[in-house]
Amino acid sequence: MILDIKTFPDEVLRKKNEPVSVVDDSVKKLLDDMVDTMRSAKGVGLAAPQVGVNKRVIIVDISAGEDPDSLMRIINPEILELSGEPDVNEEGCLSVPGEYEVVARPSKAVIKYLKENGSEEIVKADGFLARALQHEIDHLNGVLFIDRLSMSKRETVKKRIRKRISIGDYVAGRG
């Protein structure tokens, strides 16, 4: 089922997200719906608060649907380590549609998470996957990529969004 994607400045994107204590059918359904929603929006990642659910659940598919093996369904992720040269690249977000800005992030990330069968998994990511995972985990902490811009850049982006809202051009799902 395709869910509505909440967009900045919706407060749900800033709320505290609770860890999942039991991986039950409702969590699996949430993950299924998040996959449908991400695919429909042609995204490479999605976090539960973006569909209005304040739980520590994310999905990432850096192939954007091209490679079935690339989809990661992630519960209660924790960053164990960030390292490497800063990777400086353009980033976007389905909750900040149509805005793309350069964000520097560590190029390597080690993430621990729970799989749906309850087993613990550790992934060592680099490059675009490391970026995507950090971006989605940021969402679980109420952080958007625009928060990582310089103050002046962030104000420029917010001003542009306000203007786009006023003319009805700020539409979720346009990536």
Distance between start and end Cα atoms, the chain: 19
Q: Which stretch binds Ni ion (CB under 5 A): 24-32, 63-71, 91-99, 158-166?
A: 91-99
Q: Find the binder of Ni ion among 30, 62, 93, 140 (CB under 5 A).
A: 93
* Sheet order of strands, 101-114 included: 45-47, 57-60, 72-91, 101-114, 120-126
Q: Minimum CB separation from Ni ion for residue 164, in Å?
A: 17
Q: Which stretch binds Ni ion (CB under 5 A): 60-68, 85-93, 108-116, 150-158?
A: 85-93
Q: Which residues contact 42 (CB under 8 A, 6 or more apart)?
A: 64, 65, 175
Q: Minimum CB separation from Ni ion for residue 38, in Å?
A: 10
Q: Does 34 interact with Ni ion (rule: CB under 5 A)?
A: no
Measured at the CA of 46, the angle between CA 118 and CA 64, to 5 degrees, comes to: 100
Task: Mark whether 91 is an active-site residue.
Answer: no
Q: Which residues are catalytic?
A: 136
Interface ranges with Ni ion (CB under 5 A):
93
